[in-house]
């Protein structure tokens, strides 16, 4: 396996779904499936043993569900990036999975090429959402009950420079580092530096949390 290969662990309680995902990922020479699990508990064990770069995680499974497995994996050193791939798009599933540490959330109706692309992006430290999921996140944080979180998000983002704020908003829009670099006439290295500073200043663990902060702050402005 060369250094550019991304290893993937497939987690779904339906063998047919796992077979389909294996075939999709096999079409990308830079991706390799190193293992499969039928429930969250098995996924955690295999992830610790195989140390994949990315775990493609279903949510509703026996023994331990995808949120619980994601939360447990997130506590480990050198934790793999978790990309949720599910049929469930309810707000509670989305927010629970992201709060547990998932780096991306896709619905199973996305094109196969989008799955492979998403695996590559989360492996590179970026965040990925289905378009409908982004819309639900915006609706969720616009709820009046989210006002205290919105105020806290606005204070966190106030610590950023104008340029860092622009990068944070681009991250929230789901843009990759390469896209941000091209649109803002910066090198990718500079974008990565900005993202690193944003994470530190806002106390965020990853790009997903930065995106949520931006959505919350926007809702605070009404």
Threshold 0.95, pTM exceeds: no
Say which residues have a Cβ less than 8 Å from residue 91's Cβ, sequence separation at least 6.
136, 139, 140
Other beta carbons within 10 angstroms of residue 153's beta carbon come to 22
- Mean of pLDDT values over 80-87: 89
- The pLDDT of residue 64 is above 60: yes
Residue 166 confidence (pLDDT):
94
Give Cα 118 distance to the centre of its chain: 9
**Would strands 128-129 and 104-107 be described as parallel, antiparallel, or unpaired?**
parallel
- The pLDDT of residue 128 is above 60: yes
Domains annotated for the chain, with CATH where assigned, are 6-137 (3.40.50.2300), 144-220 (3.40.50.2300)
Query: Using CA atoms, how far apart are residues 69 and 97, in angstroms rounded to an integer?
Result: 10
- The pLDDT of residue 106 is above 90: no
pLDDT tens-digit readout, 135-187: 555 555 545 555 566 788 888 999 999 999 999 988 887 777 888 899 999 99
């Amino acid at each position: 396996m060369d250094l550019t290969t991304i290893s993937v662990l497939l987690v779904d309680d339906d063998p047919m779904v796992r077979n389909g995902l294996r075939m999709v990922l096999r079409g990308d020479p830079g991706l390799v499936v190193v293992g499969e699990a039928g429930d969250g508990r098995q996924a955690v064990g295999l992830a610790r043993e195989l140390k994949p770069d990315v775990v493609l995680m279903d949510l509703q499974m026996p023994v331990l569900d995808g949120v619980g497995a994601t939360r447990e994996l997130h506590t480990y050193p050198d934790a793999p990036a978790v990309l949720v791939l599910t049929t469930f798009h309810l707000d509670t599933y989305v927010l629970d999975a992201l709060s547990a540490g998932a780096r991306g959330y896709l619905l199973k109706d996305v094109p196969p090429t989008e799955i492979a692309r998403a695996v590559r992006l989360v492996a590179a430290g970026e965040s990925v959402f289905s378009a409908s999921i982004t819309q639900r996140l915006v609706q969720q944080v616009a709820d009046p009950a989210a006002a205290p979180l919105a105020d806290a998000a606005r204070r966190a983002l106030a610590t950023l420079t104008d340029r860092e704020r622009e990068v944070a908003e681009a991250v929230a829009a789901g843009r990759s580092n390469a896209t941000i670099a091209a649109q803002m006439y910066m090198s990718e290295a500079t974008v990565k530096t900005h993202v690193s500073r944003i994470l530190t200043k806002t106390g965020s663990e990853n790009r997903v949390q930065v995106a949520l902060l931006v959505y919350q702050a926007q809702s605070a402005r009404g």
